[in-house]
Amino acid sequence: MTNKSASSPSGISVLLADSKQLESQLLAGSLRDCGFEVLCCPREVPPILEFLDAGGADVAVINCAAPYSSAPDLAMIRTLHLMHPQIPKVCLMDTESRQVAVQAFRSGARGLFCLGNSSFQLFCECIERVHRGEIFATNQQLSYLLDSVCQSLCMRVVSTTGKILLTSREEQVVALVTDGLSNRNVANELGLSEHTVKKYLFRIFEKLGISSRVELVLYALHHGSPQPAAWSAGA
């Protein structure tokens, strides 16, 4: 960790959610030394939502490294973003890759940061910039995002036994809804009518046993996996 940075602003309230208590305390102490107000909580959705509901955080910093797994838990970021879209979120990662970077920002993160690869001073800058409403990303991460703009995904949703539950077109609808598109925008993207999109959603809800778009997004993020596109936008 570094000493206090004279350029770091005071008064930014940071919610730090991490499952590693010792590392969390060290990180929180260093942030406080730099003038940030820091609240710590476990890396679990209920306590994080309790803090955010209380309105005491300007920025949420979430360690997305899942325990006992090399795959990050990005579904948590998406859940928090659905509940509190106004609060900028920084996703802390142990490692990064093209898929992780794209999915983190798709899930609602405003910043993606690997402490092991960068300086603590840059981490402070990351928090300051997302607090100002900016996106914090490395040049490499930005290139990943730009590449993803030219690609469309489908969301493969399977049962506990591995059975594919949706048709290819329904998977495309789920992917676009998960990205936050309205029915009209989904229709424009797929070259369909809005009425047809509503019919697709009704069938998807029926197949998955859900009743709302929020439930669909959460279901897809917890039970689905992005797949390479097999179609062109507007086709």
Edge-to-edge, what's the strand order for the sheet holding 59-63? 37-41, 13-17, 59-63, 89-92, 111-113
Domain count, the chain: 2
Residues above pLDDT 90, as percent of the chain: 29
Q: What per-residue confidence (pLDDT) applies to 172?
A: 85
- Residue 153's pLDDT band, with cuts at 50, 70 and 90, is low
- Residue 14's pLDDT band, with cuts at 50, 70 and 90, is very high
Q: What per-residue confidence (pLDDT) applies to 137?
A: 86
Cα–Cα distances (Å) from 4 to 10, 120, 185, in that order, read 11, 10, 47
| Per-residue pLDDT reduced to its tens digit, 108-118 | 899 999 877 78
Within a domain: 128: yes
Question: Do 142 and 188 lie in a common domain?
Answer: no
pTM of the full predicted structure?
0.61
| Per-residue pLDDT reduced to its tens digit, 45-62 | 898 998 888 887 999 999
- Residue 214's pLDDT band, with cuts at 50, 70 and 90, is confident
Question: Do 46 and 112 lie in a common domain?
Answer: yes
Residues above pLDDT 70, as percent of the chain: 80
CA dist., res. 32 & res. 75, Å (int): 28
Mean pLDDT within 96-120: 83
The CATH number of residue 211's host domain is 1.10.10.10
The CATH number of residue 141's host domain is 3.40.50.2300
Note down the domain range covering 64: 13-146
pLDDT at residue 145 above 60? yes
Q: Find out whether 90 and 126 touch, Cβ atoms under 8 Å.
A: yes
Contacts of residue 179, defined as CB under 8 A and 6 or more positions apart, other chains included, come to 106
Question: Do 97 and 183 lie in a common domain?
Answer: no
pLDDT at residue 5 above 50? no
Q: What per-residue confidence (pLDDT) applies to 176?
A: 85
Q: What per-residue confidence (pLDDT) applies to 76?
A: 83
Q: What per-residue confidence (pLDDT) applies to 72?
A: 67
- Which of 117, 146, 175 is the last residue in one of the domains? 146
Mean pLDDT within 5-34: 80
